[in-house]
Amino acid sequence: MEQGAISDYGFLSDCRSAALVGRNGSIDWWCPDRFDAPSVFARLLDPAGGHWWLGPVAPGRVQRSYERDTLVLRTVHHTPEGSVAVTDALAAEQGARAHELGMNSPAVLLRVVEGLSGRVRMGVDYLPRPEYGLITPYLREQDDGSVLARAGPAVLVLRGDGLRLRVVDDRVRHTFEVAAGQVVGFDLAYAATHGAPPARRDAVPGVADTVRAWQAFRESHHYDGRHAEVVRQSATILTGLTYARSGAVAAAPTTSLPELLGADRNYDYRFSWLRDFAMTMRAMWVAACPDEASRLFAWAAYSTGRIGAEPVPVVFGLEGERDISEHFCDNLAGYANSSPVRIGNDAWRQRQLDVPGEVVSAIWKFRDYLGAQFGAELREMVLGLTEQVAATWHLPDRGIWEHRDAERHYLCSKVLCWVAMDRAVRLAPRLGERADVRRWAGIRDEIRATVLREGYDERRGAYTGVLGSPELDAAVLYLPVVGFLPAQDPRMRSTIEAVERELGADGGLIRRWADDPGGFLLCSFWLVECLVLAGQRERAERLFEEVTGHANDVGLLSEQIDPGTGAQLGNMPQALSHIGLINAAWRLTDPRVD
């Protein structure tokens, strides 16, 4: 059984971990302890990496959808023998409702097979491979018909209602028939080897309880703007990417899905980026999730700690870990032989000067929600970030795209330094005696003058990616979004036209730079916002519809799209793509600059 296309996968989450299930019924990715923990299934990255397939022996036509406002996936298989539905979920804690979702998830995969018509022969192929495929576990048939897998740090128990599962060599292979009206449930429970044993959840009531938990959560959030259906779906996906115990939002639940097939631009995105902070906060607010926004503030304050002269890391582990050093899994071939497979992300070592601006901007936007007086940690964070920008804005950095070559004077980084100083000046009344408004305002004005003087290339008729360089970078579309320049400013209008003309591709896609292999979805949504701000609402609406049309059949967006084939590229689902969608929909609803 081969790896599916990236767009073939559906996303399951219990707000602790994630699983990806293909259209063919194979769960090819699951890191049960938490999003960034070692996998027990990794066929997504290597055919031998482990999987759990459950589906009709005779393939047929497939229809998929999520139960409304959930990440419980229902797949209907229409075969020559009849039709059968398989419902997949990562179990919520029993009885969990609304904001309890994910706080104590039991790490159990649930699968319910329901006969719809005829009599369909079903197959099971279960091949667990813990530690990113490094370990072949012992499989033992149990008296109750279940199978115990034990190896290294992981214990797994697979059960099927009324079935006695059999071990064949190093896997479970089993077939059974399901007739119309018949229901068969499976549960696969994980536990650490040296902890409490795996907890059983009966599949049928467990799925029903998980649906109720998700729907109770979404019922407490109301979005009244344009494109409500896709916004609600994207908000649900963002919730699924939230690590409930800390409030951190993972950039994606996967690692090393490539930006270009066969190349080495493939990174581990199972962490939380401060760089994305303001956009994430805005999307959560738009989607009416203020509680999650508040928790994300707290996570950021505690993760950064007391800020000194060293650059604030751009990315943290989900519980605030700072050192997430990168290494390679040489035993995995990579998706479509796109190696290496990376675990960890060395971007945590980079200087990225936009980070403080993202954070301070978010605090400014949510100032009223946070109250007249900030908590001590939040106040210290704003003061520390502002002073760091004051001392370092003139330095080169790696930019928001986290380039791994030489540091440069990236224009967007300078603009976000301006944002940090501008918002800090506005926040000064809440920051106490240490707010140095006159000095901060002077630095803010100096940064702005530098960008306006050195960032515009007269021959290209555009603001460019690096000060003094003629090379275009779609990151400049962020300038009107953060209020640095109005979209109708003649130079900004010329810049937007240049980006569309030279970095645009079919399908409403925008590349980040000229030789970027794919259209970067966030940049396409930034263009939607720019068009609204430039007064071109009808064009913006058409572009929004075109870009959202790149989602797969269950509404998931990856990081990039291949302009030639329309194939999804990069880690998926990608938080930034869904954040961009939500924020663009709101800009179409309310065009005011934040």
Same-domain check for residues 298 and 171: no
On whether residue 1 sits in a domain, the answer given is no
Same-domain check for residues 205 and 241: no
Q: Can you give the pLDDT at residue 98? A: 59
Q: Can you give the pLDDT at residue 259? A: 93
Q: Can you give the pLDDT at residue 95? A: 78
Q: Can you give the pLDDT at residue 99? A: 63
On whether residue 119 sits in a domain, the answer given is yes
Give strand ranges (E) for 45-105.
51-56, 61-66, 73-79, 82-90
On whether residue 366 sits in a domain, the answer given is yes
Same-domain check for residues 166 and 252: no
On whether residue 464 sits in a domain, the answer given is yes
Range of the domain at 164: 6-219
Same-domain check for residues 437 and 465: yes
On whether residue 448 sits in a domain, the answer given is yes
Q: Can you give the pLDDT at residue 205? A: 96
For the chain, what is the domain count?
Answer: 2
Q: Can you give the pLDDT at residue 159? A: 97
Same-domain check for residues 319 and 455: yes
Q: Can you give the pLDDT at residue 180? A: 98
Domain boundary among 219, 245, 268: 219
Same-domain check for residues 250 and 170: no
Domain boundary among 175, 197, 219: 219
Q: Can you give the pLDDT at residue 283? A: 85
Q: What is the pLDDT of residues 546-557, one digit of tens each?
A: 999 999 999 999
Same-domain check for residues 215 and 232: no
Q: Are 269 and 255 in contact (CB under 8 A)?
A: yes
Q: Can you give the pLDDT at residue 371? A: 65
Tokens of 474: 């779609």
Q: Are 544 and 588 in contact (CB under 8 A)?
A: yes
Domain boundary among 198, 219, 240: 219
Please give the average pLDDT of every successive group of 10 residues along the chain, which has 594 residues.
Answer: 86 97 97 96 97 96 96 98 98 78 87 98 98 95 96 94 94 97 98 88 95 86 89 94 92 96 92 86 75 75 80 89 95 96 94 93 83 74 94 96 93 98 95 94 98 97 97 98 97 98 96 95 98 97 98 98 96 97 95 75
Q: CA dihedral in degrees (515, 519, 525, 526; nearest 10)?
A: 0
Tokens of 280: 């994430």
Q: Residue 159: what are its φ and ψ, rounded to 5°?
A: -130, 150
| Residue 554: Cβ within 10 Å count | 20
Same-domain check for residues 266 and 192: no
C-alpha distances out from residue 317 to 175, 181, 271, 299, 313, Å = 41, 45, 5, 11, 11
Same-domain check for residues 311 and 199: no
Strands 61-66 and 10-13: unpaired
Query: What is the residue type of 244?
Result: A
Same-domain check for residues 376 and 490: yes
Alpha helices in 485-592 (DSSP H): 490-503, 521-533, 537-548, 575-589
Alpha helices in 220-289 (DSSP H): 228-240, 277-286
Q: What is the pLDDT of residues 105-132, one digit of tens each?
A: 899 999 999 999 999 999 999 999 999 9
On whether residue 19 sits in a domain, the answer given is yes
Q: CA 413, CA 421: separation in Å to the nearest integer?
A: 13
Q: Could you tell me how many residues make up the chain?
A: 594
CATH of the domain at 190: 2.70.98
Q: Are 561 and 241 in contact (CB under 8 A)?
A: no
**Secondary structure of 281-327 in HEC code, one letter for each residue:** HHHHHHCCCHHHHHHHHHHHHHHHCCCCCCCCCCEECCCCCCCCCCE
Same-domain check for residues 374 and 503: yes
Q: Can you give the pLDDT at residue 408? A: 97
On whether residue 534 sits in a domain, the answer given is yes
On whether residue 354 sits in a domain, the answer given is yes
Same-domain check for residues 57 and 107: yes
Q: Can you give the pLDDT at residue 220? A: 72
Q: Can you give the pLDDT at residue 582? A: 95
CATH of the domain at 488: 1.50.10.10
